[in-house]
Amino acid sequence: AYLIYTSGSTGRPKGVAVPQRGLLPLVAAQQAAFALAPTSRIAQFASPSFDAAISELLTAWGTGATVCLTAETTLHDPHAFVRWLAAQQITTVTLPPSYLATLPVTDLPALHTLVVAGEACPPALLAPWAAPGRRLVNAYGPTEVTVCATLAVLPTPLPPVCPIGRPLPTAQVYVLDAQQQPVPIGVRGELYVGGAGLAQGYVGRPDLTAERFVPHPFAATPGARLYRTGDAVRWRPDGQVEFLGRLDSQVKVRGYRVEVEEVEAQVLQHPEVQAAAVVAADQRLVAYVVFADAPVASADLSAFLGQRLPEYLVPSLFVAVARLPRLLNGKLDRRALQTLAATPVEANAEDYVAPRTSVEAEVTTIWEQVLGVAPISVTANFFALGGHSLLATQVVSRVYDVFQFEIPLHTIFEEPTVEGFAQAIEQGRSQNQSTSGDDDIPLAHGARYHGLNQ
């Protein structure tokens, strides 16, 4: 029926060949779930180069509804897009959660069905858009299974976690362990999808097709296959599937294996958080957060997450951003996150204090370089800004380069603010000058700290 190219982890696009047999069942399922009628007016948000556009077009045409096309300049302006929704009397729209997070909450009386898809969606993001008579839908489906595999029509008030719902009538959904055996209800496993919507495979990539489209372990039909989504999920007792994150988004931070989307899911549980993304950088976790209103202090966010996650999974740094960067298809651009300025939440607070002495200024510069954070208040805590023992060692090394003074590593743990650490340097230098006649030859600076983490 069509060929859609989708990005891969290696950066090399994969051409997905999708057959016709899954299209009619897709249209029928979405017509019912979205409550479409000939009077419906459906926004085409997705670019034609993405499979979501297939859903927008075919469900409209199959219903006799109207497809409303948006200008690219409108899509890039959240306020203009909301005005366009109102002016066009749009009844049905499908958006990625990270794009929805950029929109000003507006009363749109004509909007009957709001569908979110493509990413995990926090209930706090959807809640302001709930309205009498409006249907909120959470949809899930990789390109390889013809747009959509599961749907959840969400109740109001919204649950603490938005499930991705139940399989479409023609989809076969399994949650399996590493041995491709079913896991019990509530147990984490990988999501496998089969059925009429299964793609033929990746064009010109037989090796990758064999890796992702595997023999169906439970089918009686010879040659039946399942698609390995790479998504971690679990069955809920009510028969719905809950998305937990990507299996391949694990990273190592200071020796710990970390699933960044697991951390993101917990950050999104905070009532003041509208959107969030977590990345691993320089042996620490950094959370980029879009707040619903005023920023929440890092200490409060850390305390909130400390009740839900082990200490090593709590981000070291929280960065407030107006919006998260997105790809052309509206999904989160994780690579672009690395280019955002790491300005901590507290940097915008009224209690920011600039350096007052030359030593404080030098220490502030060192901390900003080591932590990758700016600006830093002289009252800010090194460890609250994402510092850890390895970075503390770098600070001590740079202090020696700048001041030609060796300050003990434990000092930064005892005086974790710029002002306290700078004062310790001044006191130490003063004492050092009075005892500078020592004839001992010190070790090279790098050698003194070589064994710290052995």
Model confidence pLDDT, tens digit, residues 322-376: 888 888 777 788 878 877 755 555 554 546 788 999 999 999 999 988 887 778 8
Q: What SS3 state is found at 16? A: strand
Residues 216 and 243 in one domain: yes
User: What does the pLDDT look like over 130-173, one tens digit per residue?
Assistant: 999 999 999 999 999 999 999 999 999 999 899 999 999 879 99
Peptide bond into 97 cis (omega under 30): no
CA atoms within a 13 Å half-sphere pointing along the CA-CB vector of 273:
27
Last residue of a domain, one of 202, 219, 247: 247
Residues 243, 197 within the same domain: yes
Q: Are residues 172 and 90 in the same domain?
A: yes
Listed in sequence order, the residues at least 6 apart from 438 whose beta carbon sits closer than 8 Å to its beta carbon are none
Residue 454 within a domain: no
Q: Do 205 and 142 reside in the same domain of the chain?
A: yes
**Lowest model confidence (mean pLDDT) among 124-128, 174-178, 220-224, 341-345:** 341-345
Q: Are residues 118 and 187 in the same domain?
A: yes
Do 26 and 163 belong to one domain?
Answer: yes
For residue 353, being part of any structural domain is answered with no
Tell me: do 86 and 9 sit in the same domain.
yes
Residue 24: other Cβ atoms inside 10 A? 13
**With 50 as the cut, is the pLDDT of residue 454 above it?**
no
Q: Are 152 and 240 contacting, i.e. CB atoms less than 8 angstroms apart?
A: yes
Q: Is the pLDDT of residue 35 over 70?
A: yes
Lowest-confidence pick of 84-93, 356-365, 372-381: 372-381
Is residue 380 located within the same domain as residue 305? no
Cβ–Cβ contacts within 10 Å for residue 189, how many? 22
Same domain for 283 and 364? Answer: no
Per residue in 117-130, is it b (16+ CB within 10 Å) or e — as a string? bbbbbbbbbbeebb
What is the per-residue pLDDT for 365? 93
pTM of the model: 0.64
Q: Which residue has the higher pLDDT, 71 or 343?
A: 71
Domain that holds residue 331: 254-348
Identify whether residues 321 and 391 lie together within a single domain. no
Instruction: Please identify, among 348, 371, 391, the residue that sits at the C-terminal boundary of a domain.
Output: 348
**Burial track 150-184 (b if 16+ CB lie within 10 A, e otherwise):** bbbbbeeebeebbbbbbbbebbbbbbbeeebeebe
For residue 97, the domain's CATH number is 3.40.50.12780
CATH number at residue 261: 3.30.300.30
The maximal CA–CA distance of the chain, rounded, in angstroms, is 92
Residue 202 predicted with pLDDT over 90: yes
Domains held by the chain: number: 3
Separation between Cα atoms, residue 146 and residue 6, nearest integer Å: 12
Q: Evaluate if residue 252 carries a pLDDT over 80.
A: no
Helix or strand run (H / E) with residue 95: strand 92-95
Contact (CB, 8 A) for 16 and 199: yes
Query: Whose CA is closest to 329, among 19, 55, 10?
Result: 55
Structure tokens at 234: 């679990």
What integer best gives the mean pLDDT of the chain? Answer: 85
Asked if residue 283 and residue 211 are part of one domain, the reply reads no
What is the pLDDT, as a whole number, of residue 453?
37
Q: Do residues 184 and 206 both lie within one domain?
A: yes
